[in-house]
Structure 1
Amino acid sequence: MTSEVLEAAPPATRSVIDVRGVSRWFGNVVAVNDITMSIGTGVTGLLGPNGAGKTTLLHLMAGLLAPSRGEILVQDAPVWRNPAIYRTLGLVVDREDTYGFLSARELVEATATLHKMDHPRSAADRAIAMVNLGPAADRRIATYSKGMRQRARVAAALVHDPAVLLLDEPFNGMDPRQRLELMELLHRMGEEGRTVLFSSHILEEVEQVSQQIQVMVAGRLAASGDHRAIRRLMTQRPHEFRLSSSNDRSLGVALLALESVSGVELENDGVLVRASDYGAFTAALPSAARGAGVRLYQVLPADESLESVFSYLIGG
């Protein structure tokens, strides 16, 4: 496995978060492995399958964990053992840790008080309005849906008007309307010149919000760039398909003649095809089958899991 990062495009803005050779291990388990990246203003997506190390990296950026090696700076200041950093940094963690007996207004106002804001109530009202939670602000959080609880936590992270916002899987549990509203909020924050970094395991989700994407796989940084370049890196990888037909042997012979096919294996229940070009193969397949006098019964991608897609980026 290589540690080379595929640079899909240069950073678009000046650096606000600097991660310099950071590793973090827990006993014999390496959760984050020698990551170097720079995050500028605007919205950046931290993309990777579950278990890739995204949560650990966000906790390191927020100063909740100490790096085993390397350093992290936010606005040129170290985050570890630096409480002053929380004046300009907001964090929404993935785990649910809000007090259900509080209302959203009480939670957000208490957070404003902890930040020693001059007018905690008005700051709480502003943050609650930003996440469109006003009509339910005085209900106990225990009565909320998961999406509403998530919005309350986002409001608490925004109450002190941070320049940097870190969110771990912020769209989990939200219905389509709530997701759209949060996406619009993150867009606005990015356009205002803030730095927003959020994690997700869904490429389409990240593409809708982020100008830049950082891809993590197995604790490593696998690729970095804008979403169009990352999409190209993913779709241009080799693909495998499982096909079943009226005559698998004839189909296999016909497919071997295609330039987009790098290998064919006959299996007990069909044909395994390795395609070097996804688009060219899928376009040529119908005519190749027709020319061989074969009827296709099934065409299934054999390697479309997130893990296989991301692992290709680091040569795994």
Structure 2
Amino acid sequence: MTAISTQATAGPPAAATSTLDLAGVSRWYGNVVAVNDVTMRLGPGVTGLLGPNGAGKTTLLHMMAGFLSPSRGTVALDGEPTWRNPAVYRRLGLVSEREAVHTFLSAYEFVLASAKLHRLPDPEAATRRAIELVEMEDAQTRRIGTYSKGMRQRTRVAAALVHDPQVLLLDEPFNGMDPRQRLHMMALLHRLGDAGRTILFSSHILEEVEQVSGTVQVMVAGRLAASGDYRTIRRLMTNRPHVFGVRSTDDRALAVALMAEASVSGVELDRTGLTVKAGDYGAFTRALPRIALRHGIRVRQLLPEDESLESVFSYLVEA
């Protein structure tokens, strides 16, 4: 499988930034290959790591965080290897999928312990700031054992943020969160990304990724299947016809005219308008206004109907 990439180089924000680089990374367990020859670069902003369960997302995150050594290839944070390099944790925060919290502690005590482990100059102030970020002030003195799963997740995010890391890795961070908690966490990730932090979060829920980030790394069966903006990825899939919904002042006449257009592979007409299949996205979108003008037809609506992340993901998994 050849990965589709649409990554572009962007200028660094004013804030201090960090970059994660993976070069030819593989990880296997005996005869089982969990991650196979993955190369990617992660810079400032929010990126979604997408894939079905068992695709290798967690293994990849653990190698990025220095918890696992690659069987082959290199993982580096700002040019330094993450494996057996505790210094990277000054710049890196991790929220793993597996819960590892002491339920007899309060959220404040748990986050404070993380601040002290990082030897922060003012651990109490850092703890208060991190708890405020995840909106846990009202429950911070209660034992974690009394929390809902969503509250425990937010506490773990606070512990990962307490030292203000430049890189934040989150494995299924929205698990157990109610709708309000999810919206708040999504807004927090956006703010951190906009401030120049490098954020990577994994999910197998398409809606989560689509709402938080347009930039994705798609894992399928241990390989990197696509990389970049998912809308651009869709347009690069030239073997898949692009589907458009078209509404106009004369749908029947427009359908007849479009059938003669070389970029159009099919047209369907029903009560709601036209469904057009085009082999070439750019050629069709350039030709449509020209054809409509020639026939005196006004186009009222043109909507790509298969540029959702769900469509892109389903195409990649089927490939």
Say if 2:66 is the partner of 1:63: yes
| CA pair 84-201 structure 1, distance change in 2 beyond 3 A | same
Q: Would the alpha carbon gap of residues 200 and 134 (structure 1) be closer, same or farther in structure 2, given more than 3 Å must change?
A: same
Partner in structure 2 of residue 131 of structure 1: 134
Once the two structures are superposed, what CA deviation does each residue of 1:128-158 show, in whole Å capped at 9, x if it has no partner? 0000000000101111111000000000000
Q: Describe the shift of the 1:234–1:45 C-alpha distance in structure 2 as closer, same or farther (beyond 3 A).
A: farther
Structure 1 residues 51 and 12: alpha-carbon distance in aligned structure 2, compared to 1, 3 A threshold: farther
Indicate conservation of the 8 Å contact 1:9/1:229, yes or no: no
The one-letter code matched in structure 2 to 1:209 is V
Partners in 1 of 2:234 and 2:205 — Cα distance?
A: 12
Structure-1 residue corresponding to 2:36: 33
Structure 2 gap ranges (5+)? 13-17, 243-258, 273-309
User: How high is the TM-score relative to the length of structure 1?
Assistant: 0.75
Question: Post-superposition shift, 1:202?
Answer: 2.1
Q: Distance in 1 between matches of 2:141 and 2:201?
A: 28
Distance in 1 (CA, whole Å) between partners of 2:3 and 2:317 is 7
Alignment of 1:200-279 (within 5 A): 200-230=203-233, 237=240
Superposition map of 1:4-23 within 5 A: 4-12=2-10, 16-23=19-26
Report how far residue 309 of structure 1 moved: 6.3
Residue 313 of structure 1 deviates from its aligned partner by 2.5
Q: Secondary structure at the match of 1:81?
A: coil
1:55 counterpart SS class: helix
- Tell me which of 55, 58, 62 is aligned to 1:52: 55
Q: Tell me how large the CA RMSD over aligned residues is.
A: 2.9
1:170 and 2:168 correspond? no
Cα distance, 1:11 vs structure 2: 4.4
Q: C-alpha displacement at 1:16, in angstroms?
A: 0.6
Once the two structures are TM-superposed, the CA of residue 284 in structure 1 deviates from its matched residue by: 4.4
Q: Is the contact between residue 5 and residue 233 of structure 2 (CA under 8 Å) also seen in structure 1?
A: no
Distance 1:116 1:144 in 2: 27
Deviation at 1:90, TM superposition (A): 0.1
**Structure 1 unmatched runs, 5+:** 240-258, 260-275, 288-305
Asked if the contact 1:11/1:225 (under 8 Å) is kept, the reply is no
Secondary structure of 2:110 counterpart: helix
Q: For residue 8 of structure 1, report the CA deviation from its aligned partner.
A: 3.2
Query: What is aligned with 1:156?
Result: 159
How many residues are treated as equivalent by the alignment? 261
